[in-house]
């Protein structure tokens, strides 16, 4: 037998055997778990949006104070050739 046939035989043997009992409250527990996951994802999304907003405000405050678009003043003065 090939490896594939061995695996197929093992799966067929498992499926032909007795099935384990399913808890009666499985659906309710799955729904509660899904609700918790959705609430957690929503909370994480809100925190990330809040952090993004804080980053934008911090950048605007920094840019208004530092004015990075302006040319910085010259470090030295040009030589004076007059007179």
- Cα separation of 41 and 35, whole Å? 10
Any idea how long the chain is?
A: 83
For residue 39, give the DSSP letter: H
Q: What is the pLDDT of residue 20?
A: 82
CA–CA gap between residue 46 and residue 16 (Å, rounded): 48
pLDDT band (50, 70, 90) for residue 1? low
pLDDT of residue 51: 98
Mean pLDDT of the 30-35 span? 98
pLDDT band at 35 (very low <50, low <70, confident <90, very high): very high
Backbone phi, psi, residue 13, to 5°: -65, -40
Question: Measured between alpha carbons, how far is 78 from 83 in angstroms, rounded to an integer?
Answer: 15
Q: Does residue 14 have a pLDDT over 90?
A: no
Alpha helix positions (H), the chain: 3-16, 26-66
């Amino acid at each position: 037998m090939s490896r594939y046939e061995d695996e197929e035989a093992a799966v067929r043997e498992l499926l032909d055997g007795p099935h384990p009992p399913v808890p009666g409250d499985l659906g309710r527990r799955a729904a509660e778990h899904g609700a918790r996951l959705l609430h957690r994802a929503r909370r994480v999304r809100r925190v990330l949006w809040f952090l993004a907003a804080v980053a934008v405000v911090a950048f605007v405050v920094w840019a208004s104070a530092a004015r990075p678009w302006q040319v910085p003043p010259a470090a030295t003065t040009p030589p004076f050739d007059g007179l």
